[in-house]
Each structure stands twice: as structure tokens, then as C-alpha cells.
């Protein structure tokens, strides 16, 4: 093979591998825009990342064998709450918005997922199934989560609502919440679902 042809083959190979290496990653999930609007937190392959909203390099925040997901920003943008199964089931954790050590807030045997911070940033509001006895008419099942809150510094978990709700967001003054109800075991990924248990949005 002549030198020009060899050189052309090498350049073609390098160009092909370079393009392959720049292929966009798949399954970037659960995006959450920071209060400043300058960053987006998201989940990729079971870890948390942030990336500027203007685009650019993503920064990895968690480095753990467990599955970390559902990042939620505090109102001041300093803290991120998320769910992780580091101890078997999904518990609520908080960490700095810049990464670092994560602090565990909940210790229940059922899965729990963060939705929002309280208006004063002192508590994380989350969904779970932990309190009512089986004989109660509102006994929570996996498809009927109730609403709780836990201090960001850790401590006692308080029941907020027995209503089965998800994806709760609190207004800046703390006087209103927006959420969708949960009437039954509807699959949230099912598109254009219409039935008696289709979710509705409430304020």
C-alpha cells in the first residue's frame, strides 16, 4: 500500500472513531431545572449530573453503585434532594448542588420519592406508603402513595396528606400546591391513556 493511501486509511479510521465517540448519550432522564435557570440536574446510568442550560460539559455529582435518580432543587439552588436505593429500597437523600457527600433522610422499608422542597427550604416533601394500618379505608398501597415531609437536617417524618398524590410542587409563599392525583395503578408511561383512573391536575 502506498504511503498516501495508508495515510488516507488512517485519517478515515480516526475520523470514524472520533464521530462514534461523540455519539449523544441515550437515556438522560428526570431533568430538573435549577431555580436560577442556569443548570439542569438529571439522571444518567444511575448517577446524578448537572449541565449548564446553555449547553456544555456535564458534571457528575454522584459516584455510587446504587441507582440515584429524581433530582429536586431547593429554592435557593444550594441543595439537591434525590432518591437512591443504596440501602435496598429507595430512600430520600440530600446533597450540595455542586456534589459531595449525600445525607440520608428517610429509613423506611418502602420506596420513597422526593417531589419538592418546602417554601422555606427546611423540609423535603416526598411520596411514600408508610403510616396507615391495613384496616384503614385509605390504607396506602404502592399505587396509592401518601404525602410526607422530612427536615433537610434529618429527623421526624410528618404526614402531610393521606390523599394519594404525586409530583407535588409548592408555591413560593407556601400557601398553594399543584399536583396530580393517583386514582389507581395507571402506568405513567402509557401515552394517551383514557379511563376512570387517568390522572388529573389539581391546585
Between residues 27 and 132, the one the model is more confident about: 27
How high does pLDDT run on average in the chain?
86
The residues spanned by each domain of the chain are 25-202
Phi and psi (nearest 5°) for 109? Answer: -80, -10
How is residue 105 written as a grid cell?
433522610
Q: Which residues are 93's β-sheet partners? A: 82, 104
Between residues 145 and 63, the one the model is more confident about: 63
Q: What is the pLDDT of residue 90?
A: 95
Q: What is the pLDDT of residue 199?
A: 86
Place of cell 431533568: 31
Q: What is the pLDDT of residue 2?
A: 59
Residue 13 CA to residue 116 CA, distance in Å, equals 49
Per-residue model confidence as pLDDT tens digits over 62-100: 998 999 999 999 999 999 999 999 999 999 999 999 999
Place of cell 392525583: 181
The strands making up 165-170's β-sheet, listed across from edge to edge, are 165-170, 177-181, 201-202
Which H/E stretch holds residue 59? strand 59-60
Q: What is the pLDDT of residue 1?
A: 55
Query: 110 and 129 in contact (C-beta within 8 Å)?
Result: yes
Residue range 113-120: mean pLDDT, rounded: 96
Which has the minimum average pLDDT: 63-72, 116-125, 142-151, 167-176?
142-151
Q: What is the pLDDT of residue 4?
A: 55
Q: Quick check: helix, strand or coil at residue 31?
A: strand
Q: What is the pLDDT of residue 186?
A: 77
Residue 93 CA to residue 99 CA, distance in Å, equals 12
Q: What is the pLDDT of residue 122?
A: 97
Longest dimension (CA), the chain: 84
Pairing of strands 68-73, 29-33: unpaired
Q: What is the pLDDT of residue 129?
A: 86
Per-residue model confidence as pLDDT tens digits over 165-189: 999 999 999 999 999 998 887 777 7
Provide CATH code, domain 25-202.
2.120.10.30
Amino acid at each position: 500500500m502506498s504511503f498516501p493511501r495508508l495515510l488516507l486509511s488512517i485519517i478515515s479510521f480516526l475520523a470514524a472513531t472520533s464521530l462514534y465517540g461523540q455519539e449523544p448519550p441515550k437515556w438522560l432522564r428526570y431533568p430538573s431545572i435549577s431555580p436560577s435557570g442556569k443548570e439542569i440536574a438529571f439522571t444518567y446510568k444511575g448517577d446524578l449530573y448537572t449541565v449548564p442550560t446553555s449547553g456544555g460539559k456535564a458534571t457528575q455529582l454522584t459516584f455510587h453503585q446504587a441507582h440515584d435518580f429524581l433530582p429536586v432543587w431547593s429554592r435557593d439552588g444550594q441543595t439537591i434532594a434525590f432518591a437512591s436505593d443504596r440501602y435496598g429500597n429507595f430512600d430520600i437523600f440530600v446533597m450540595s448542588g455542586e456534589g459531595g457527600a449525600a445525607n440520608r433522610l428517610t429509613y423506611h422499608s418502602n420506596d420513597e420519592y422526593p417531589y419538592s422542597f418546602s417554601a422555606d427550604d427546611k423540609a423535603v416533601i416526598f411520596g411514600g406508603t408508610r403510616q396507615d394500618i391495613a384496616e384503614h379505608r385509605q390504607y396506602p398501597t404502592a399505587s396509592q402513595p401518601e404525602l410526607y415531609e422530612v427536615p433537610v437536617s434529618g429527623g421526624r417524618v410528618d404526614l402531610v396528606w393521606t390523599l394519594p398524590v404525586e409530583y407535588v410542587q409548592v408555591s413560593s409563599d407556601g400557601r398553594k400546591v399543584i399536583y396530580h392525583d393517583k386514582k389507581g395503578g395507571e402506568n405513567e408511561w402509557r401515552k394517551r391513556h383514557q379511563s376512570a383512573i387517568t390522572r388529573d391536575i389539581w391546585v
